Amino acid sequence: MNLSRFAKYAWSVLAYNLVVILLGAYVRASSSGAGCGSHWPLCNGEVIPRSATMKTLIEFSHRLTSGFALLLVIILFIWAFRAFARKHHARAGAALSLVFIITEALIGAGLVLLEYVAENKSMWRAIWMSGHLVNTFLLVAMLTFTAWAATTDARLRIRGQGSITWVFAVAIISTLILGVSGAITALGATLFPVKSIAEGLQQDFSPLAHQLTRLRVFHPAISIVVSGLLIYTARVVRALRPGESKLAGALISLIIIQLIAGVVNLILHAPIWLQIVHLLLSDFIWIALVLLAVTALAEPVREASFGVVEPSTAMR
């Protein structure tokens, strides 16, 4: 097996899954989640719906693309175990990718079978969607890790890396929390659309408002805090791992673009196209963070203590 071919395939599977994720967001934003009724894996009781509405076509298309994504990851898993030696990171990444895409399908099925779709306004829907978001991010992380491992043949060195390991741990957990708040906010925007910022603020702070509208007010604050934390993480990496300056800079740039997109999203009252762009930027930031973490932690330890870098042998 040609390993460079596997690496290209792994990156392609990651890119395809991003498309599937965006289509899933469109299903939610367009209230098409009930397009196949409460049937799964069938669509309105049929393998291929014959009299399909637009919402049925949207939901059925998402199911087809999701099924193909599962097939691609199965191939990734088999190929990794045939192409790489035992204990290679590409094997572990591919195996975990398969686990997370299976749980992704099960969560999606649960949303449909429990009817947590379309106009359902229950908090249980928000909880399930939050779990869906976390699982999706973990799937993307493992696909990214697999592609990185196949491309570089590097190995992670978690132990003995010093405080930078904790910096990344906090950054990753915080980003997942931000993603959950974003998913809840997007759901609230779909179920309770507004025509002006004033109307939105009135909904957010009204004691009679639905819980989903009151929760969405926290997302902007969380995004500012987490964005600052991610920028700080990138700056720490620049200090402790100078070789990763370009990737750290890319992460900072993506964060700034995302903040601008968030403001525009608020001003325009979350149109569907901008929700999709906002989610895509979130995925790019997550991928950049994962790549920054694995590349920084794969390098030889050079840190003596927090914020202090031991000079390399070449500089002595």
Residues 165 and 303 in one domain: yes
Q: 75 in a domain, yes or no?
A: yes
162 found inside a domain: yes
Neighbouring-strand partners of residue 46:
43
Same domain? For 167 and 255 the reply is yes
Whole-Å CA distances, 94 to 62, 80, 245: 23, 7, 28
Domain match, 46 and 162 both: no
Residues 133 and 200 in one domain: no
Residues 263 and 165 in one domain: yes
Among 154, 177, 208, where does a domain finish?
A: 154
Q: Phi and psi of 153, rounded to 5°?
A: 60, 15
Length of the chain: 316
Residue with tokens 């939901």: 59
What's the total number of domains in the chain? 2
d(CA 306, CA 46): 60
**Where residue 298 falls among pLDDT bands split at 50, 70, 90?**
confident
Tell me the pLDDT tens digit for each residue of 74-127: 999 999 999 999 989 999 999 999 999 999 999 999 999 998 988 888 899 999
Same domain, 93 and 33: yes
CB 165 within 8 A of CB 4: no
The range of the structural domain enclosing residue 254 comes to 156-309
Residues 180 and 305 in one domain: yes
Write out the two tokens for 217.
Answer: 């007010």
CA distance 14 to 231: 25
50 and 75 together in one domain: yes
- pLDDT 10s digits, 166-187: 999 999 999 999 999 999 888 8
Higher pLDDT, 273 or 51: 273
Q: What is the pLDDT of residues 262-297, one digit of tens each?
A: 999 888 888 999 999 999 999 999 999 999 999 999
Claim to verify: residue 180 and residue 45 sit in the same structural domain: no
Q: Are residues 106 and 200 in the same domain?
A: no
What is the C-alpha separation between 139 and 144, in angstroms, rounded?
A: 9
Query: Does residue 139 share a domain with residue 253?
Result: no
Among 131, 154, 177, the domain-final residue is 154
Q: 3-class SS at 304?
A: strand
Identify the domain boundary among 154, 171, 198: 154
